[in-house]
Amino acid sequence: MSTLSEKLQTPVEDTARRARPPAPVLSVRDVRISDRAAGREIVHGVSFDLTPGRTVGIVGESGSGKTLTCRAALGILPAHFEVTGGSIELDGRDITGFSPAEWTSLRGSTISAVFQDPASYLNPSIRVGAQVAEVIRVKQKAGRRAARRRAVELLRAVHLRDPELVCGQYPYELSGGMLQRVLIAAAIAAGPRVLIADEATTALDVTVQAEILDLLADLRERTGLALVVVSHDLAVVAQLCDEVLVLRQGEVVEQGPTQEVLHHPRHEYTRLLIAEHEQYGLDRFLAPEEDA
Amino acid sequence: MTTTQAQAAPDVRRTVAAARTRHTLGRVLATFARSIAIFVPVFLVATFVTFALRSLSGLSPARIQLGEEATPEAIARVEAQWGLDRPFLVQYGDWFDGVLHGQLGTSWTNGADISTLIGLGLGVSLSVATFALLIGVVVGFALGTVAALRRTTWIDRAITGFVTAISVMPAFVVGIVLVAVFAVGLKVFPSAGYIPAEQGLGPWLAHITLPAVALSFDVVADVARQLRSSLVAAYRENYVTGAVVRGLSPRRVFFGHVLRNGLGPALATLGLKFPSLVGASVVTEWIFGLQGFGRFANDSAQAGDVPAVQGVLVVSIVLVVVFNLFVNLVLARVTPASQRGV
């Protein structure tokens, strides 16, 4: 098994990847998720295939079921929620029969995730370096010293300046953008094949958001990571994704290649999203200046 | 990686490691300094108030030694012997100087050295209180942890019910029941008395077990409840989801992430619990016939032996403050967040 740091040094050849059609690492088939307590279905059938090095985007307003779909793929649905229809295959295996121990071994090393509000996803009383190293120590059975060395390498790989210093700092000492980088480093520490970025850039300001998106694209190019990008922001999806799903109230209202969906939206909700972007986005205010 | 980088890396690492050690050391020292800064004024004010108690109470050694019918001249003579005719601040200065040197003065009732008397009682009381604390911490942690891990199941409810029940049982009732069952009925423990540890560890433990158990109920209940609720709260935090998503095992998530952050409130509770443990020892020492610190305090107060009561208060203040200092240092180690006052 090649570690991520090795992968980082030997970029996957783009042509080699395209040559043979690879098997999907994450395959979601008509997944339905229900709230058992309320007795109603929240997500009504979501399907997509994700192959290494590709990116699927899920767009939609809050409460549309984006996060639930991701959590189902990670096996961390909240209490009362369960997958009531369809199937999710992770690396060719159906997740329904997974025992807690199997989940533990798959998470981190096959599928991993980063979320909105990175500060809350790191333990406030443990140095960030130790939190990244912990993943390497546990998932790759590395020694304490080797794990620490690799944690520093990872922090360097996510473009953190002065990774040695950052390693010894607590989450409260770092900014939001730095924390999201640390979170990404921890998520990719055990070399997962799928990374879910659930609103990973939502809480960050625009320049930092662009840097994080560049980082994710960079990781995808270098390691063949498959990405699921969840966002309510079309700009994020446009920048990163090959395929887009538009979710509304648990229903997939539009699905297809990103360019297709953005330029020729068929469903009125997608048109609304794009129109709103045109209406409220900065582009509208910048346009006259360019004309002049 | 190039050779220059390879050479530079260990140096950088050493510098960073050294900086981190310095950082940790600095944090511990800062906590220590802050605790001392709190301790000194608290100690000064508390001893001053304690010493002022004599003037406020109007008690005098002359009344104890000469009885009610003493002439004013005799009273004045005895008070002069004890140095009570001097200005208040001079008396306080003298007494405080003695306290700093471990001399708590002489008893009004029998002229014995108070430091020696308290030292004798303290051995008994600290044995019982420490053992009670130990039982409280071990049992409380076990119950709180199990309840939190099995939250909302019948196990959690049973533990919560049990803990609530024992939390409302006063130590003196528990003490009497324990004596009736284990000493009188089953005859497994002695009902009263104390044997110092130097005369045998077994008998020492046998004599302090029942009073310690009686005292520990309150600690068990508080620690268990506090720990359960803070662990349950910690389990709801996002960083637990984060650790799960990174593929850490449930055990690792519990010990490495949940417990570490849930420990703070339970430790802080222990800090609050210690003074009440010292206070409650008065009652249990009566029941178990121990000549402890609490009993000494009670006897002195009833006899109107002001220097003895002052000594008791000084020792209590030191005990409580030192214990809290210890708890604060542990807290500073466990959660850097507690330090920032969050």
Residues of B in contact with A168 (CB under 8 A): 16-17, 19-20, 23
Q: How many domains does chain B have?
A: 1
Q: Are A27 and A95 in contact (CB under 8 A)?
A: no
Residues of A in contact with B22 (CB under 8 A): none
ipTM of the complex: 0.82
Scored b (16 or more CB within 10 A) or e, B291-301 reads bbbbbbbbbbe
Which residues make Cβ contacts (< 8 Å) with residue B258, sequence separation at least 6? Answer: B231, B234, B235, B240
Q: Do residue B16 and residue A164 have CB atoms under 8 angstroms apart?
A: yes
* Residue B15 banded pLDDT, cuts 50, 70, 90: low
pLDDT for res B135 = 92
Q: How many CB atoms lie within 10 A of CB B256?
A: 18
CA atoms within 13 A of residue B52's CA, in its CB half-sphere: 6
Residues of B in contact with A164 (CB under 8 A): 12-13, 16
* A87 DSSP β-pair partners: A29
Domain ranges, residue A90: 4-291
Q: Both ends of chain B: CA-CA distance in Å?
A: 42
Residues of B in contact with A108 (CB under 8 A): 245-248
B181 φ/ψ angles, rounded to the nearest 5 degrees: -80, -55
Amino acid of residue A25: V
Give Cα A219 distance to the centre of its chain.
12
What is the spatial order of strands in the sheet that A81-90 belongs to? A40-50, A26-35, A81-90, A93-94
Q: Are A184 and A8 in contact (CB under 8 A)?
A: no
Of A112, A117, A127, the CB nearest to B245: A112
Scored b (16 or more CB within 10 A) or e, B71-108 reads eeeebeebeeebebeeeeeebbeebbebbeeeebbbbb
Residues of B in contact with A167 (CB under 8 A): 16
CATH number where B167 lies: 1.10.3720.10
Q: What is the mean pLDDT of chain A?
A: 83
Q: How many domains does chain A have?
A: 1
**Nearest CA to B311 among B87, B124, B108, B39?**
B108
User: Does any CB of chain B come closer than 8 Å to the CB of residue A59?
Assistant: no
In chain A, the residue whose alpha carbon lies closest to the alpha carbon of B8 is A164
For residue B337 the two structure tokens come to 């967040």
Residues of A in contact with B237 (CB under 8 A): 120
* A59 DSSP β-pair partners: A231, A246
Q: Are A31 and A47 in contact (CB under 8 A)?
A: yes
CA B113 to CA B93: how far, in whole Å? Answer: 19
Query: Per residue in A186-238, pLDDT tens?
Result: 988 888 889 999 888 887 788 888 888 888 888 888 888 999 999 888 888 88
Q: Are A208 and A222 in contact (CB under 8 A)?
A: no
Question: Which long-range CB contacts under 8 A does A157-160 form with residues at least 24 apart?
Answer: A157/A4, A157/A5, A157/A8, A157/A185, A158/A182, A158/A184, A158/A185, A158/A215, A159/A211, A159/A215, A160/A185
Query: Per residue in B219-259, pLDDT tens?
Result: 899 999 999 999 998 888 888 999 999 888 888 899 888 88
Q: Is the pLDDT of residue A249 over 90?
A: no
Of A106, A122, A190, the CB nearest to B239: A122
Residue B3 lies in a domain: no
Q: Which A-chain residues 102-131 have CB contacts (< 8 A) with chain B?
A: 104-109, 112-113, 115, 117, 120-127
Query: Per residue in A28-80, pLDDT tens?
Result: 889 999 988 888 888 888 999 999 888 999 988 888 888 889 999 998 888 88
Distance from CA of A181 to the nearest CA of B (A): 14
Q: What percent of chain A has pLDDT over 70?
A: 89
pLDDT for res B332 = 74
The larger pLDDT score, comparing residue A58 to residue B39, is at A58
Q: What is the mean pLDDT of chain B?
A: 80
In chain B, the residue whose alpha carbon lies closest to the alpha carbon of A182 is B242
Tell me the mean pLDDT in the region B168-172.
83
> A243-248 and A93-94 as β-strands: parallel, antiparallel, unpaired?
unpaired
* Range from A5-9, A108-112, B232-236, B321-325 carrying the lowest mean pLDDT: A5-9
* Residue A93 banded pLDDT, cuts 50, 70, 90: confident
Q: Are A212 and A200 in contact (CB under 8 A)?
A: yes
Query: Per residue in B194-223, pLDDT tens?
Result: 777 777 777 777 778 888 888 888 889 999
CA A131 to CA A50: how far, in whole Å? Answer: 29
* Range from A19-23, A164-168, B118-122, B283-287 carrying the lowest mean pLDDT: A19-23
Number of helices followed by number of strands (H, E) in chain B: 14, 0
For residue A24 the two structure tokens come to 């999907």
CA A186 to CA A137: how far, in whole Å? Answer: 12
Q: Do residue A125 and residue B336 have CB atoms under 8 angstroms apart?
A: yes
Q: In sequence order, what DSSP letters do the residues of A191-206 get, joined into one string?
A: --SEEEEESTTTTS-H
CA A171 to CA A162: how far, in whole Å? Answer: 15
Domain ranges, residue B216: 113-339
Of B16, B244, B247, the CB nearest to A168: B16
pLDDT for res B4 = 43
In chain A, the residue whose alpha carbon lies closest to the alpha carbon of B242 is A121
* Residue A1 banded pLDDT, cuts 50, 70, 90: very low
Residue B261 lies in a domain: yes
Q: How many CB atoms lie within 10 A of CB A82?
A: 12
Of B245, B249, B252, the CB nearest to A76: B245
User: In a mutagenesis test of the B interface, which of A105, A125, A127, A195 is the best target, namely the one with the most B β-carbons within 10 Å?
Assistant: A125
Q: Residue A136, SS3?
A: helix
pLDDT for res B20 = 64
Amino acid of residue B302: Q
CATH number where A245 lies: 3.40.50.300
Q: Is the pLDDT of residue B174 over 70?
A: yes
What sign does the dihedral B280-B281-B282-B284 (CA atoms) show?
positive
User: Does any CB of chain A come closer than 8 Å to the CB of residue B134?
Assistant: no
Question: Which long-range CB contacts under 8 A does B78-84 form with residues at least 24 apart?
Answer: B82/B108, B84/B54, B84/B60
In chain A, the residue whose alpha carbon lies closest to the alpha carbon of B14 is A164
User: Does any CB of chain B come closer than 8 Å to the CB of residue A38?
Assistant: no
pLDDT for res B154 = 92
Q: Do residue A120 and residue B245 have CB atoms under 8 angstroms apart?
A: no
